[in-house]
Amino acid sequence: MDLTPANASIFAYPDYELRDGLTKERVFLSGTDILVRIPIEQAKADLAAGLNTAGFISGYRGSPLGAYDQAMAKASVALDEYKITVKPAINEDLAATAIIGTQEVASDPQVNVDGVFGIWYGKGPGVDRSGDALKHGNALGSSKHGGVLAFLGDDHGCVSSSMPHQSDQAAEHFMMPVLHPAGVADYIPFGLYGFAASRFTGAWIGFKTISEVLESSAAVEVPHPRKFKEPKDFTPPFDLNHDPATSFGPVLEQKLLARLDAMRAFAKANPIDKVSFGAKHPKTAIVAVGKAYADLIETLKKNSAFPKLQPNAKVLAFIRWGLYGQLSQLVLKPSCKTLKSFW
């Protein structure tokens, strides 16, 4: 095929260049590159909401996030434009400690921004070795106009690691909610969801990234910022955001438990789980989390299974679980009385 400029009309977007991935609404990006776009979109959303915020990103490279710092270095001009500072650390522990500091900015009398949103990144073994710093960071919490995402780089298939690893259990131990994107197209909406959830709950929000997604690429539409609802049926027992005066002992334990309740309320008001196919009042539901959901749907398509399942559409549903574990507010919960089985 002749791909010279003279035959550029064969392309749907003949003027598109790879560097447009940081600015245009329809883009072609890898999983790693689209992670760079998340803080930019958060900064834009804050500006649209009348907030003067800055961003801070720190972590330690390691597969599958081994190229994240390089991608951010290439995007330094765009990041600087939105006051987003990138400081790779010499290890994951120091990076997490630096992120803790970003949430203390709100209590500084000389502060000149409304808040600083932070992103920590590290591979699965880095999550393990940095457990103390991550656990303390989540316990101390996030500020009202800041928020923290923790990019957890997991290599389930042991593609470039000494052993397979996943961070779900560690995050659960930290009492840190975790979001599971199914693919590249989920990264930006899940990232913005995570920051909104972090600000409301006061918790750090884990963001699961895996090799198969980070190392893939896709053409995606960058969504307009979602308007998140304030839960109407939840009243925090006390301020859940970062507060040095209540960051100790039994009070801190109460905060951690209350933040999980706040996450459930936020997820109920702003569902992230999704029914992809099937009935509103199913008798059977097939539930898959993150990338496993995308694999399930792809397998069914390749085997032409959807037409065969169509007669069961009134009793069967497929659900993409976006929020890990017991925190998830299933979108089918109002009709769970009809469910007889989960798979």
Q: What is the mean pLDDT of the chain?
A: 87
Per-residue pLDDT, 25:
87
- Please tell me whether residues 134 and 242 are part of one structural domain: yes
Out of 269, 301, 333, pick the residue that ends a domain: 269
What does DSSP assign to residue 39?
A: H
Q: Are residues 151 and 286 in the same domain?
A: no
The tally of CA atoms less than 13 A away on the side-chain side of residue 157 is 8
Q: How high is the pLDDT of residue 10?
A: 45
Residue 311 lies in domain: 274-342
Q: Which of 146, 116, 127 is nearest to 60 (CA)?
A: 127
What average pLDDT does the segment 161-174 reach? 89
76, 217: one domain? yes
Distance between CA atoms of 9 and 128, rounded to whole angstroms?
A: 51
Number of domains in the chain: 2
Residues 35, 113, single domain; the answer is yes
> What SS3 class is residue 172?
helix
Residue 3 lies in a domain: no
User: Residue 230 has which token pair?
Assistant: 């304030």
Phi-psi region of 83 (alpha: psi -120 to 50; beta: other; left: phi over 0): left
Q: Is the torsion defined by CA of 288, 294, 300, 303 positive or negative? A: negative
pLDDT at 14: 67
Final residue of a structural domain among 225, 248, 269: 269
**Residue 286 shares a structural domain with residue 162:** no
Better-predicted residue by pLDDT, 106 or 183: 183
**Please, which residues bridge with residue 119 across strands?**
57, 149
CB 153 within 8 A of CB 65: yes
Contact 78, 40 (CB under 8 A): yes
Give the H or E element holding residue 259.
helix 249-269
Over residues 124-150, the pLDDT tens digits come to: 999 999 999 999 999 999 999 999 999
CA–CA distance from 225 to each of 5, 39, 42, 188, 222 (Å)? Answer: 35, 12, 8, 9, 9
Residue 318 predicted with pLDDT over 50: yes
Cβ atoms 185, 241 nearer than 8 A: no
Mean pLDDT of 257-274: 93
The tokens describing 334, both together, are 């109002």
Spell out the residues 6+ positions from residue 49 whose beta carbon is closer than 8 angstroms to its own: none
pLDDT at 271 over 60: yes
